[in-house]
């Protein structure tokens, strides 16, 4: 692995497993130190051990949409590793499935808080404490359901579409010192997405031109590129790693 992130520190939300952990692993493999968040400390402790221990990683439990948690994470990132160069807003929830006409409004409001507003709040916290003076790079993890209709998870897709628009607005506002991009994956094999393929993976993947679902490592590699200096002339973009599924009209 190249040492593209040697001397840099990344904050990755929702990173005790799945896509978030794969992103953290890729960044550590390329020289970064990472601060990861999730709801449960025991899961974070396991992830920190997998990332190489306290010399390479710090895990702090809390809710992604809790402003006090966000402030603590940024403060401890700078206090422990001396900086906060990179931010990955990976936290997202989807507690509902079904048509919009039966959507629970309480759940919908919570989804907006976690999937959209928290990304802005995390960005504010990191920008205020580090990036405003030192620059940096941010990647927001959206979804292919944010770029085209996705029946059954329509409101989740709407929040991810909002995250894409926020990415573009932030890219304009924070340039030139801070770059902001997004990834919008199709189905990736994680616990979060298990209901979309579990027990029928072969059938689901048959619709993809590349004939397979995504792996967390696919997204980790892409996010690492967007955070790196090699992507230094890329901002406000939404990359759709999808195995080709949107070419055939699917999600």
The 10s digit of each residue's pLDDT in 70-105 is 999 999 999 999 999 999 999 999 999 999 999 999
Gap between the terminal Cα atoms of the chain: 32
What confidence score (pLDDT) does residue 19 get?
Answer: 97
Catalytic: 156? yes
| 143 falls within a domain | yes
Task: Using the predicted structure, report yes or no on whether residue 1 has a pLDDT greater than 80.
Answer: no
Cα separation, 216 vs 166, in Å, equals 24
Q: What is the chain's mean pLDDT, rounded?
A: 96
Instruction: Given the residues 97, 156, 197, 208, select the one marked as catalytic.
Output: 156
Q: How many domains does the chain have?
A: 1
Give the model's confidence band at 193: pLDDT under 50 very low, under 70 low, under 90 confident, else very high: confident
Mean pLDDT is lowest, of 134-138, 230-234, 247-251, for 247-251
Query: Which domain does 65 fall in, by range?
Result: 9-248
Query: What's the rounded mean pLDDT across residues 150-160?
Result: 96
Q: Is 89 exposed, middle or buried (0-12, 13-18, 19+ CB in 10 A)?
A: buried
State the greatest distance between any 2 C-alpha atoms of the chain, in Å, as a whole number: 50
The pLDDT tens digits for 36-73 are 999 999 999 999 999 999 999 999 999 999 999 999 99
Task: Using the predicted structure, report yes or no on whether residue 246 has a pLDDT greater than 80.
Answer: yes
The pLDDT tens digits for 162-182 are 999 999 999 999 999 999 999
CATH at 34: 3.40.50.720
| 231 falls within a domain | yes
Task: Using the predicted structure, report yes or no on whether residue 3 has a pLDDT greater than 90.
Answer: yes
The pLDDT tens digits for 11-32 are 999 999 999 999 999 999 999 9
Task: Using the predicted structure, report yes or no on whether residue 251 has a pLDDT greater than 80.
Answer: no
Three-state SS sequence of the chain = CCCCCCCCEEEECCCCCHHHHHHHHHHHHCCCEEEEEECCHHHHHHHHHHCCCCCCEEEEECCCCCHHHHHHHHHHHHHHHCCCCEEEECCCCCCCCCCHHHCCHHHHHHHHHHHHHHHHHHHHHHHHHHHHHHCEEEEEECCHHHCCCCCCCHHHHHHHHHHHHHHHHHHHHHCCCEEEEEECCCCECCCCCHHHCCCCHHHHHCCCCCCCCECHHHHHHHHHHHHCHHHCCCCCCEECCCCCHHHHCCC
Number of neighbouring beta carbons within 10 Å of residue 115: 28
| 3 falls within a domain | no
Whether the model clears a pTM of 0.85, i.e. scores above it, the answer is: yes
Cα separation, 119 vs 124, in Å, equals 9
| 2 falls within a domain | no
Task: Using the predicted structure, report yes or no on whether residue 2 has a pLDDT greater than 90.
Answer: no
Cα separation, 108 vs 110, in Å, equals 5
Query: What's the rounded mean pLDDT across residues 109-133?
Result: 98
Cα separation, 86 vs 136, in Å, equals 6
What confidence score (pLDDT) does residue 249 get?
Answer: 79
| 1 falls within a domain | no
């Amino acid at each position: 692995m190249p040492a593209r992130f040697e001397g840099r520190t990344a904050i990755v939300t929702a990173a005790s497993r799945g896509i978030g952990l794969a992103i953290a692993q890729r960044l550590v493999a390329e020289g970064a130190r990472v601060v990861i968040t999730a709801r449960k400390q025991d899961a974070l402790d396991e992830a920190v051990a997998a990332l190489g221990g306290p010399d390479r990683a710090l895990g702090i439990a809390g809710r992604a949409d809790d402003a006090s948690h966000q402030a603590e994470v940024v403060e401890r990132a700078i206090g422990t590793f001396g900086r906060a160069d990179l931010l990955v807003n990976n936290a997202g929830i989807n507690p509902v499935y079904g048509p919009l006409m039966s959507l629970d409004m309480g759940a919908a409001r919570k989804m907006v808080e976690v999937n959209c507003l928290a990304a802005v709040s995390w960005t504010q916290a990191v920008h205020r404490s580090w990036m405003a003076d030192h620059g940096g790079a941010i990647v927001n993890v959206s979804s292919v359901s944010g770029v085209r209709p996705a029946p059954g998870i329509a409101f989740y897709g709407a929040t991810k579409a909002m995250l894409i628009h926020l990415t573009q607005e932030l890219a304009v506002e924070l340039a030139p010192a801070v770059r902001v991009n997004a990834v919008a994956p199709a189905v990736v094999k994680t616990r979060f997405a298990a209901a979309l393929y579990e027990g029928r993976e072969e059938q689901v993947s048959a619709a993809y031109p590349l004939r397979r679902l995504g792996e967390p490592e696919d997204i980790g590699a892409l996010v690492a590129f967007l955070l790196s200096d090699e992507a230094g002339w890329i901002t406000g973009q939404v990359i759709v790693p999808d195995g080709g599924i949107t070419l055939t009209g699917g999600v």
